[in-house]
Structure 1
């Protein structure tokens, strides 16, 4: 294997609320002796990342938007042929028309800045955790004479724009987090070796977090996610209303922030659920662990595109919570229905209510699923193993000259 001198690690707008799993992967790579340097696009606001690692991550990360004019000029002067090759990449960008091509052209200075920053940091390979504009950035930088690059695809390709064949063409490696996403990649880049390597969680950190629940306490359901319409909070709220009308003693905690918060609050009011639902806001890593430990069932009723292998579900399973989860993305690969979680059709309130009702009524079932979920998480979702798999795949791809 040809291991990079230092591994560049690029996450757009890093770090934010939902980026704890990236930070865990970085920590796991470093624990295994990998020298990791962080890169990103724009610097997010400090309040966008409530986690304890936020200040450290921002201080470590090199941001390439806006690009440094001096770095761009120096790289262009030293690599004129590379700049011409990068301009040639624009001919491959056709999916979004002239407007899309202009958007990619605007990335050229940042790509040159990235090349310069990577060279200064001793980085000869960058892994991009995005298949959107960041992947264009990697392709442009490579053509400019910069580092080799690889890409992890986290969601359906149509969420990440167009021209994916161009993004993948010069990549040393493309990985996906589910088998379904691998099929999407192979449809636009046939013949590639596309390993499925999920993100992971620190399973040991979540083991044993469940406290003793007071007798007679409400059964507590929990969701932790970005507050977006596609997360489907409204479907579980409707199911919750049914359970309460049937006399079930239940509560629902919704953690996270996002554009759908006003709509969710309006739905809570419409269904008269104010006494049964808590809006917890964004949670730090420690607060996530505590919330899981104070809950009985985890809920993710997403629909549509954009969900792949939800890390929040992995964390819940590692903490021993039965999960009610939509069949979406790779969740059917993560959960065996009725064994280590309950899978429901998307947007199906009847099925969601039935699953919740089963768990309310059967403490023995909850206990069985709890143990099975922890076993699944420990065997398949541990971040040390998933980070090692990514590093070995990158090293192997470089050795093969990909």
Structure 2
């Protein structure tokens, strides 16, 4: 009889949060496959920051590494002065990081020591970290202090996650990327013998699926966005395209789910374009509401700009619900969408292109339906969260061996 698999550690910064539905799906799928998962996070998120139904259960099972347990950590480090010196030398050697920031990063040593203690108590040999920012330093330091092996997932462009990526990744067993372009950037900028598998973030295609009863014809063309109200999400460009389409006679309504620092600017844009009666800001919404919004919509718009967008889960969820999205060419979106077949890709900030793509979907229901069916097929083939969770599980178990 084969031995039961060892538990694996799973670390997500400030878990659970507004955008963390994917992580909950992934770790649940790994557990369904028979591998226990112990959840860690850097610090507890602000109250109310996770609107999803799993928030309470997720927080209850998460071990937070900051603040670390003072007495236990102090005793651990005092008994290992040579390892403590190596950990301090690691931080001091982060030459791409300014000196003042390096001084602050010294505090991560205590959290890394606490992670080692938790892992030893629970029989964990490997921790997977869903970040390449400071949480990756915690993984490297835990490896130095206690030999805990670790792996990372890169979710966006490397510059978004700070500096000294070579140091963060040098001890990792593998660094997965959520898109092929991110994989290419890792090979180019990190290289070496490190493995860089592509493992998509996933969506529950059994749950996120087209509405059981199609929307009745007639009424306004319904567009939804599921995105934080941040500058880089580019809501203003879809609003301008919407104003253009309305001026051309298209009856279009736009609902925006998400919250963030750009709310006032977006409200001003809506007012300035005279779109007040036709746009609804919904604030943060839970996963159940996201599903309902997608099943009620005709398309999803994501007109992001600059860096940081890799493989947007909102696009996967929309495609799983049979929507052909209108999406910026950014990050890995060209790997997700076949332009004109299961969605439209538009240049960043190109209001005319956004309006043109949206207009095609709005005025040609037969083509919209065909593209929606193709989008659903793509989601089932590529984005299903269980298949991707099993791919991560295989990589982790291989790393343990």
- How far apart, CA to CA, are the structure 2 residues paired with 1:369 and 1:36? 38
**CA positional deviation for 1:346:** 0.6
**Equivalent residue number for residue 289 of structure 1:** 291
**Equivalent residue number for residue 219 of structure 2:** 217
- Which ranges of structure 2 fall in alignment gaps of 5 or more residues? none
**CA positional deviation for 1:91:** 3.6
**Equivalent residue number for residue 22 of structure 2:** 21
CA offsets 1:258-316 (integer angstroms, 9 cap, x no match): 11111111100110101110111111111111111111100100011000000110000
**Equivalent residue number for residue 57 of structure 1:** 58
Q: Does 1:339 align with 2:341?
A: yes
**CA positional deviation for 1:187:** 2.5
Aligned ranges for residues 118-129 of structure 1 at < 5 Å? Answer: 118-129=119-130
Q: Does 1:176 align with 2:177?
A: yes
**CA positional deviation for 1:78:** 4.0
Aligned length, in residue pairs: 399
Residues 146, 56 of structure 1: alpha-carbon distance in 2 compared, 3 angstrom cutoff: farther
Moved more, 126-135 or 101-110: 101-110
Q: Does 1:366 align with 2:368?
A: yes
Q: Does 1:242 align with 2:244?
A: yes
Aligned ranges for residues 6-85 of structure 1 at < 5 Å? Answer: 6-85=7-86
Structure 2 length-normalised TM: 0.97
Q: Does 1:97 align with 2:116?
A: no
Moved more, 234-243 or 93-102: 93-102
**CA positional deviation for 1:4:** 6.6
Pairwise CA RMSD of aligned residues? 1.6
**CA positional deviation for 1:49:** 0.7
**Equivalent residue number for residue 325 of structure 1:** 327
Any conservation in 1 of the 2:53–2:286 contact (CA below 8 Å)? yes
**CA positional deviation for 1:83:** 1.6
Structure 1 length-normalised TM: 0.96
Any conservation in 2 of the 1:203–1:377 contact (CA below 8 Å)? yes
CA offsets 1:144-187 (integer angstroms, 9 cap, x no match): 01411000000011001000000000001111111111122122
**Equivalent residue number for residue 255 of structure 1:** 257
Any conservation in 1 of the 2:157–2:307 contact (CA below 8 Å)? yes
**Equivalent residue number for residue 301 of structure 1:** 303
Any conservation in 2 of the 1:3–1:398 contact (CA below 8 Å)? no
SS in 1 for 2:136: helix
Any conservation in 2 of the 1:93–1:100 contact (CA below 8 Å)? no
**Equivalent residue number for residue 316 of structure 2:** 314
SS in 1 for 2:224: strand
CA offsets 1:23-46 (integer angstroms, 9 cap, x no match): 000111011011000000111123
**Equivalent residue number for residue 144 of structure 1:** 145
- Which ranges of structure 1 fall in alignment gaps of 5 or more residues? none
SS in 2 for 1:365: helix
Moved more, 303-312 or 187-196: 187-196
